[in-house]
Amino acid sequence: MSDRESGTYDVVGIGFGPSNLSLAVALEEHRANGTENQISSLFLERQASFGWHRNMLLPSATMQISFLKDLATFRNPTSSFSFIAYLHAVGRLPQFVNNQDFFPTRQEFHQYLEWAQARVAERVAYGSEVRSIRLPSDAEPERADHLRVEVVDATGRGVRTIEARNVVISTGLVPSMPEGVERDERVWHSSEFLERFRRTDPRELCRVAVAGAGQSAAEIARFLYDELPHAEVYAVVPSYGYSIADDSPFANQIFDPSAVDDYYFGTEQTRDAFWRYHSNTNYSVVDDDVIRGLYRRWYDDEVRGVRRLEFLNLTRVADVKRLGAETRVILHKGPDAEVRELAVDALVCATGYDAMEPTGLLGDLDRFCLRGEAGRYRVERDYRIATAPELRCGIYLQGGTEHTHGLTSSLLSNLAMRSGEILDSIVARRVPRDAGSPVLAKAGGELG
Ligand code: FDA
Ligand code: NAP
């Protein structure tokens, strides 16, 4: 264990994607303000270096939020960690403004995130996968003033334990495959796409299929069509055709910071309305320009009498069979699930993600975490899991709170505000070093 990992941290962040990077920025600004209440922190990330959905950094893919929804601006418009500060630092601010586009490419935003993480890197341990969080074995819960975070080190230092007064779990979305379909050398999930694609000889990819009607599927279908001019590309689309992502101004308000309160303190009916009316802002939908670009490619081929981009609509992947080197995709079409088999050289399942689920990490600690009627965690407004009173340490979630805090839970839109709220909560609940019991923040409503 290095020196900086000894002692007990006020905060240990688990996972270091944009969510916990934003928290590290909030902590850095708190420190720089010279407040008395300094908060010690360490962030643990299993990847060897910073990476934000690297396998989907496709050449022309753009962000799905405004550049102003960066790591800090909504919380602190004068932050030196803003996207504008980044542009200024790299000497590209005038050119960015001339481009008149609110939506940078994902590659440019990735460079921004890398620039920001480099400024807080001394508080991050990369190559560190958290396996479990538990109470110290020698302490009763009510006496424990810290949790133990067990980390497996990718650099061969074995297992080590880190002590934390609070943990902030932010391990991200979990890739979801069609039921019963396993990944292998030629059956990929979109989350591993570029790595798999680069490892495969393109000459071996003459018939490829992409399953799904979301942004990932459309971007991958476009990429494969452009990168493999010799190949036939099959898009397996459950709907009649790709649907547009609604990012019009009124609908976009559901991603405003104030919408979190409307959702959290709203009735069951209010929360239901968010999902019923506005799922099409994010799930199974595609940006307008990507849809039009794909249609354009297909139409131009029609004019030329070429057929190499085929849309199999009202169709789902039901199974995959492996016959020697051949991959056979079993498709179900329409209401009667008419069966069709498609032989391909590779199938990409852009079939989405499940929400973050921390139960596995929490292990035995889970019995102190309160759950609502639907069996999901009760989460306070400050993103802390509601726990039995004897557990004094805080377990915060960045992600996995769709049921309590709404649609922004898995997105970037509200990162800056959410990180600030978590920091405020940790500061407010902090046990003064010489005092006996923790200062408990006022609990907000608790939802099931
Ligand atoms: P994220 O998944 O980014 O990070 C989690 C981190 O935890 C990872 O680095 C992972 O390695 C690490 N980790 C996991 N388990 C661990 C363990 N046990 N120990 C240690 N580390 C562990 N949203 C949006 O608002 N606008 C957008 O433009 C996009 N674009 C976008 C593109 C693509 C391709 C996808 C798949 C998703 C998006 N999203 C998005 C949604 C996406 O959830 C969001 O951009 C962020 O990735 C959320 O950041 P997090 O830090 O919460 O998770
Ligand atoms: P998604 O929106 O959840 O879409 C998954 C798609 O897979 C749905 O259309 C789903 O259809 C379909 N599907 C599921 N099972 C299937 C099966 N067996 N056969 C065929 N299709 C099946 O997932 P996503 O596209 O990966 O997007 C996830 C998140 O990442 C979103 O927030 C998105 O905005 C974001 N993203 C952003 C960018 C970017 O910023 N440029 C790029 C990619 C993704 P049903 O709904 O009918 O099940």
318-352 pLDDT, tens digit per residue, is: 999 988 888 999 999 998 989 999 999 999 999 99
Classify each residue of 362-395 as buried b or exposed e, where b means 16 or more C-beta atoms within 10 Å of its C-beta. beebbebbeeeeeebbbbbbbbbbbbeeebbbbb
Residue nearest ligand 1's atom 51 by CA: 17
Q: How many CA atoms lie within 13 A of 314 on its CB side?
A: 8
Is the pLDDT at 435 greater than 70, yes or no? Answer: no
pTM comes to 0.95
For residue 190, the CA-to-ligand 2 centroid distance in Å is 9
Distance CA 334, CA 396 (A): 43
Distance CA 42, CA 4 (A): 9
Mean pLDDT of 431-440: 47
For residue 246, the CA-to-ligand 2 centroid distance in Å is 15
Q: Enumerate domains of the chain plus CATH numbers.
A: 4-173+355-447 (3.50.50.60), 176-245+283-353 (3.50.50.60), 249-281 (no CATH)
Mean pLDDT of 167-179: 98
pLDDT band at residue 442 under the 50/70/90 scheme = very low
Q: Ligand 1 pocket: which of 412, 413, 417 to mutate (most atoms <8 Å of CB)? A: 412
**Ligand whose nearest atom lies closest to the CA of 354:** 2
For residue 70, the CA-to-ligand 2 centroid distance in Å is 23
Ligand 1 atom nearest 63 alpha carbon: 28
187-233 pLDDT, tens digit per residue, is: 999 999 999 999 999 999 999 999 999 999 999 999 999 999 999 99
pLDDT band at residue 139 under the 50/70/90 scheme = low
DSSP state of 376: P
Q: What is the mean pLDDT of the chain?
A: 93
Mean pLDDT of 161-178: 97
Q: Is the CB of 353 under 6 A from ligand 2?
A: yes
pLDDT band at residue 373 under the 50/70/90 scheme = confident
For residue 352, the CA-to-ligand 2 centroid distance in Å is 4
Locus of tokens 């009667």: 336
For residue 215, the CA-to-ligand 2 centroid distance in Å is 6
Q: Is the CB of 399 under 6 A from ligand 2?
A: no
Residue that wins the pLDDT comparison between 149 and 335:
149
For residue 335, the CA-to-ligand 2 centroid distance in Å is 21
Q: Is the CB of 320 under 6 A from ligand 1?
A: no
Is the pLDDT at 143 greater than 90, yes or no? Answer: no
Is the pLDDT at 37 greater than 60, yes or no? Answer: yes
Is the pLDDT at 157 greater than 90, yes or no? Answer: no
Q: Is the CB of 129 under 6 A from ligand 1?
A: yes
Is the pLDDT at 4 greater than 80, yes or no? Answer: no
pLDDT band at residue 447 under the 50/70/90 scheme = very low
